[in-house]
Amino acid sequence: MDFREELIKTIQLMIDNSLGCYKSDRTYKSVIKRIDKKGYVIIDRTGSERTVKCCIPNIELRVGQSVWIKEPGDLKELHICGVV
């Protein structure tokens, strides 16, 4: 096998292994539409309504307030992580 091809395959294998272990999240702004028993209803990045919890202790949020939303890879773990 050609040395260059072997080198490219090795680099590609290293990149694939690194990306397989990579975990990322998304943080974006949203607005609280309403408040119900289960939590705060916000608009997620796709435009859908989601009910989320707030991870900021001892804070009262209001309808219409801008907040930071963190999506740690799974939509079930979506939560409010800050106030704009």
3-state secondary structure the chain: CCHHHHHHHHHHHHHHHHHHCCCCCEEEEEEEEEEECCEEEEECCCCCEEEEEECCCCCCCCCCCEEEEEECCCHHHCEEEEEC
pLDDT, residue 16, reads 83
Residue extents of the structural domains in the chain: 26-83
Task: Supply the pLDDT for residue 41.
Answer: 96
38 is written with which tokens?
């289960």
d(CA 44, CA 62): 17
- Residue 1 has a pLDDT of 60
Indicate the pTM of the whole model: 0.70
Asked whether residue 35 carries a pLDDT value surpassing 80, the answer given is yes
Q: What is the pLDDT of residue 37?
A: 93
Task: pLDDT band for 82, please (50, 70, 90 cuts).
Answer: very high
In whole angstroms, what is the distance from residue 80 CA to residue 71 CA? 9
Q: For the beta carbon of residue 43, count every other beta carbon within 10 angstroms.
A: 14
CATH code of the domain occupying 26-83: 2.40.50.140
User: pLDDT-based confidence at 24, cuts 50/70/90?
Assistant: confident
What's the rounded mean pLDDT across residues 35-61?
A: 92
